[in-house]
Amino acid sequence: MTVTEPIIAGFYPDPSICRVDDTYYLINSSFEYLPGIPIHASTDLVTWNLVGNALTRTTQIAEHQGYPSAGIFAPTIRHHAGRFWIIGTNVNDIPLGRGHFLIHADNPAGPWSDPIFIPGTTGIDPDIVWDEDGIAHVTWCSLDGSNPGILSAPVDTDTGQLQDAPKQLWEGTGLAFPEGPHLYQIGDWWYLLLAEGGTERGHAATIARSRTIEGPYESSPHNPLLSHRSLPLPVQNVGHADLIELEDGAWAAVHLGVRPRGQTPGFHVNGRESFLVGIDWVDGWPVIDEDRYPVTPTDHSFSDAFTTPAIHPRWLGVGVFPSTFTEPHPEGGLLINSAANGSHSLLSARTTDLSWAASTKFDADAGEGRFVVRIDDKNWYGLSYDGTTVTATVTIGGLPNTVGRWQPPTGVSPFLQISAHPAPLLPHGVSLEPDLIELTAGADDVEHAFGTFDGRYLSTEVTGGFTGRVIGVEATVGQIRVHHVQYETNHNPVQTRHEMKDAE
């Protein structure tokens, strides 16, 4: 048996974890989506709840910048001396020479402080750790060609100033792209955990140790600590791990992985997700137990009618905060205003299942809108409504294709639905596609199906990048009033469409 279910599904990659008493806190990369750095909490390591986001305002991160899969890379969360700390990289800031950023909070649900930048730390994937004297050390994957490798230096957390010249700690085991460092002082040893091999099929976690934080570091005889490379397992790309000591003294690790489907090379569509493994210590080295924590499939369904002024932290904007283009409607629902200057007004949420159905209903009396599933600006499928006609569009590589139009009864706002269904199996038991995307609209017991479309073109293997699919509602012209958005974990793909229509 090998665990096949993530503890946090959907594109929640590069997990980092800390513990305070009996509660664990986990954060992830968020890339171009805002608010940034989602924060989950758990008391059992298996069941997690989204408690907020760390980057929630423009004094922490600028809007309207970057490109798909830019933004926030691989942050680390730690708890020290009664305070939570997050250190991360905004790759949009690298050309500005700001270095990594450091924020803190008394409560992981926020609010989090404005950032302190750490100049002289050009790179990605930073980590922070405090030594026995209480001195903070920042460690990162350098992108400075004159000083490459995994670098580390002491830092003043009040000012962001390095207190010594960065030193190279370890170059890894020889695999490509040594990155994602985490330092731990455990007993008499300093352990340095890395991600290696790239975040695709060659991904791995490796570890080394030293008697001092400066090194030299010796590689574990068990390396790679974790990898599924070249193995016929349903979860692939595993790596980028973070260790955690449990309240009872046992150990575990979180790591990223993907669930590819379809013919070779396999296609993952929900991004890189967060998984959990156990840790044993053998002769002073960590050894992975992948079966210690069985994870059962989770129902991720939600229905949001936007009945409160503050929207749920699941909702994201593409490079902008949702608060800049949404406002409550006085009679219920949510107003979405179209964006200017080529930016987005897409209110989006991550897809989290291998099979799902999502629907919405909005009024287009004062504008036009659309309901989409997307990976990036150039790759999305969706349904547009202008008050009279529903138009289905499949956009691949930036080339939009109209695949159908339908007119609902006059004066009735239709429901718009997008579903992801399992692809049919070929005789040898493999499907061509990872899934099929169905586009449907309906009103007054009349339903119009536009067809099903190949899910490969909304997969990371086709589009590239580091994110996964989101569903979202966007005002493309003027203003729309959204009555609700509903998402269903699809345990019965045949029935779900009709069940959701009946719920309108």
146-150, 283-287, 425-429: which has the minimum mean pLDDT?
425-429
Q: Contact at 8 Å (CB) between 88 and 113?
A: no
Question: Residue 382 corresponds to which tokens in the numbers above?
Answer: 């969706």
Round to whole Å and give the CA distance between 225 and 227.
7
- pLDDT, one tens digit per residue, over 212-229 is 999 999 999 999 999 999
Picking from 236, 241, 275, 244, the residue whose alpha carbon sits closest to that of residue 10 is: 275
Both tokens assigned to 190:
């300093």
> Would you state the pLDDT for residue 491?
64
- Tell me which of 251 and 491 has the higher pLDDT: 251
Q: Is the CATH code 3.10.129.10 the one for domain 302-502?
A: no
Closest CA relative to residue 324, chosen from 337, 306, 341: 337
Examine the pLDDT at 503 and tell me if it is beyond 60. Answer: no
Please report, rounded to a whole number, the percentage of residues in the chain having pLDDT higher than 90.
91
Q: What is the mean pLDDT of residues 135-139?
A: 98
Q: What is the pLDDT of residue 1?
A: 55
The string of DSSP letters for 367-382 reads EEEEEEEEEETTEEEE
DSSP notation for 111-167: PPPPPEEETT--EEEEEEEE-TTS-EEEEEEE--TTS-EEEEEEE-TTT--BSS--E
Here the tokens at position 176 are 């490509």
First-to-final CA distance of the chain: 41
* pLDDT, tens only, 56-76: 999 999 998 888 999 999 999
The closest of 195, 3, 227, 16 to 108, measured between CA atoms, is 16
Task: Convert 336-369 to b/e letters by CB count within 10 Å (16 or more is b).
Answer: bbbbeeebbbbbbbbbbbbbbbbbbbbbbeebbb
The answer to whether the CB of 295 falls within 8 A of the CB of 257 is no
480 falls in which pLDDT band (50, 70, 90)?
very high
Q: Is 501 helix (H, G, I), strand (E, B) or coil?
A: helix
- Report the topology of domain 16-289: Tachylectin-2; Chain A (2.115.10)
**What does 330-360 look like in DSSP terms, one character per residue?**
TTSSEEEEPPSTT---EEEEE---SSEEEEE
DSSP 411: T
Return the pLDDT at 232: 94
Identify the residue whose tokens are 């068990």: 222
Quick one: how far is CA 216 from the chain centroid?
Answer: 34
Degrees, nearest 5: CA angle 202-203-209: 125
* Confidence category of residue 343, pLDDT binned at 50, 70, 90: confident
Phi, psi angle pair for 398, to nearest 5°: 85, 5
SS3 content of the chain, % helix, strand, coil (to 5): 5, 50, 45
Region 335-348 average pLDDT: 89
Query: Taking 50 as the threshold, does the pLDDT of residue 375 lie above it?
Result: yes
How many whole angstroms separate alpha carbon 53 and alpha carbon 504?
A: 30
DSSP 422: P
Quick one: tokens of 408?
């609902």
Nearest to 237 by CA among 257, 255, 218: 257
Encoded tokens for 375: 């990976």
Cβ neighbors of 449 (< 8 A, separation 6 or more) are 438, 439, 440
Is the pLDDT at 138 greater than 80? The verdict is yes
Question: What mean pLDDT do residues 105-116 have?
Answer: 97
Question: What's the pLDDT band for 410 if we cut at 50, 70, 90?
Answer: confident
Domain boundary assignment for the chain: 16-289, 302-502
Output the CA–CA distances (angstroms, integers) from residue 442 to 420, 439, 473, 502, in the order listed.
18, 11, 17, 11
β-bridge partners, 257? 273
Q: What percent of the chain has pLDDT over 70?
A: 97
The DSSP H or E segment spanning 494 is helix 493-502
Statement: residue 497 has pLDDT above 70: no
Residues in the chain: 504
Does 302-502 match 16-289 at the fold level? Answer: no
Average pLDDT in the chain: 95
Mean pLDDT along residues 184-205: 97
Beta bridge partners of 192: 183, 208
Q: Are 51 and 314 in contact (CB under 8 A)?
A: no
DSSP secondary structure letter of residue 94: G
Residue positions annotated with a catalytic role? 14, 179
Residue 17: which of 388, 384, 274, 399 has the closest Cα? 274
Instruction: Please answer whether residues 222 and 200 qualify as being in contact, where contact means their C-beta atoms are separated by less than 8 angstroms.
Output: no
Q: Is pLDDT above 90 for 496?
A: no
Q: Does the pLDDT at position 412 exceed 50? A: yes
Task: Give me the mean pLDDT over the 328-337 stretch.
Answer: 95
C-beta of residue 112 within 8 angstroms of C-beta of residue 105: yes
Lowest model confidence (mean pLDDT) among 15-19, 307-311, 483-487: 307-311
pLDDT value at position 501? 41
Closest alpha carbon to 57 in 323, 312, 402, 370: 323
